[in-house]
Amino acid sequence: MVDISEAVSDYSVRACEKLRKKNQFCKIVSVFMRTNPFRKQDQQYSNILSYKLSIPTNDTRDILYVTRMITERLFKKNINFIKAGVMLSDFYDKGVSQSGMFIRRNRNEKDISLMETIDRINSTGIGKVNFASQGIKKDWSMKRHMHSPRYTTNWEDFIVVS
């Protein structure tokens, strides 16, 4: 459960960063998980759950809370998961959404400032500031030792002809 939970948390953090970069808020959070369809000997499982928030948010802590709750509901013991992901939907611009009469908006300047500060620090390199739920080791992360050179987008991979 730890690996899949860390992966979902990591994807949630990245999604929230992108949300804030576009000055957007979301109201629906979805998490999906699936096994490898090509391993016929393994038990197959694929599922997705969504949760609708009462007010739109772009606060990573709110999204992490929801994705953790969904991950715990989706997870099955003795199942070899190969893929998981997070989807955010039902987007709102800042100040556009309407809340109910009894819903308390608890977003304050400190919360906004915290998210902006984390984004600013992480803009110098992904993962400078992590949430604990993202883990440290990340054994689950994609292996990139076999990737093709990026001749057109990376100067280090550029071919020099002499």
Domains defined for the chain, CATH in brackets? 2-157 (3.30.1490.100)
Q: What is the chain's pLDDT, residue by residue, as a tens digit (162 residues)?
A: 678 888 999 999 999 999 999 999 999 999 999 999 998 898 999 999 999 999 999 999 999 999 999 999 999 998 889 899 999 999 998 766 555 544 555 567 888 888 888 888 888 877 777 777 877 666 656 656 667 777 788 888 877 887
d(CA 6, CA 8): 5
pTM: 0.75
CA 13/CA 20 separation, integer angstroms? 11
Question: What does residue 34 show for φ and ψ, rounded to 5 degrees?
Answer: -155, 160
| pLDDT for 140 | 59
pLDDT of residue 101: 47
Question: Structure tokens of 61?
Answer: 């802590």
- Please give the Cα distance from 112 to 117 (Å, whole number): 9
Pairing of strands 24-35, 81-93: antiparallel
